[in-house]
């Protein structure tokens, strides 16, 4: 009896997860990230990124971002961001520079090498997107893009947070 209830509970949980659009978005994002990192490594990418690095990089503004802001955006500790930034500095993807608005603070920004690598990564994502589009169709991918852009705009507003 107890094992039947547990099985029913697990089935209900799985149904609830599958019905959640945002849960599907999280899962897709993780899988796309995994595929992209794996393909980059198989192709002999000049920079061997880990999945944790790729979660940080979209949050680095082109003119630089303070580590404390990166920690807030990614939702991890300043120490964890510091370790990821250290890794990416060693890989010559990021650099720390003085913040022109506060000489005591540092900004994290892309190096010229890092910007080239970001372009290569975006090209890989475009290739993966085209592959997915061949499976799900152009209209669906276009609708997904439009929906995600609209969602991002809403989530970026401070009144939603």
Mean pLDDT by 10 residues, the chain (161 residues): 81 83 92 90 78 91 95 94 96 94 91 92 94 97 96 82 60
Name the E strands within the chain: 94-99, 102-110
**Taking CA 20 as the corner, what is the angle to CA 22 and CA 131, rounded to the nearest 5 degrees?**
60
> Which residue bears the tokens 């959640």?
20
Q: Say what the pLDDT of residue 40 is.
A: 85
Looking at the DSSP assignment, which residues form a beta bridge with residue 99?
A: 102
Q: How do strand 94-99 and strand 102-110 relate by DSSP bridges?
A: antiparallel
Domains of the chain: 20-156 (1.10.10.10)
pLDDT in the model for residue 160: 65
Tokens (6 digits) for 27? 């899962």
The rounded Cα 99 to chain-centroid distance in angstroms is: 25
CA distance 66 to 104: 11
Query: How much is the pLDDT for 161?
Result: 60
């Amino acid at each position: 009896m107890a094992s039947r209830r547990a099985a029913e509970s697990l089935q209900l949980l799985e149904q609830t997860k599958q019905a959640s659009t945002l849960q599907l978005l999280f899962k897709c994002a993780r899988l796309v990230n995994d595929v992209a990192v794996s393909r980059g490594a198989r192709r002999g990418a000049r920079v061997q990124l880990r999945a944790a690095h790729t979660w940080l990089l979209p949050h680095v503004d082109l003119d630089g971002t303070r580590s404390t802001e990166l920690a807030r955006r990614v939702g991890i500790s300043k120490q964890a961001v510091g370790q990821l930034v250290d890794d990416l500095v060693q890989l010559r993807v990021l650099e720390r520079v003085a913040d022109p608005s506060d000489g005591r603070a540092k900004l994290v920004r892309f190096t010229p090498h890092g910007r080239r690598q970001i372009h290569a990564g975006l090209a890989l994502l475009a290739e993966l997107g085209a592959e997915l589009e061949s499976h799900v169709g152009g209209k669906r991918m276009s609708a997904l893009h439009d929906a995600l852009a609209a969602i991002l705009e809403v989530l970026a507003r401070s009144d939603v947070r």
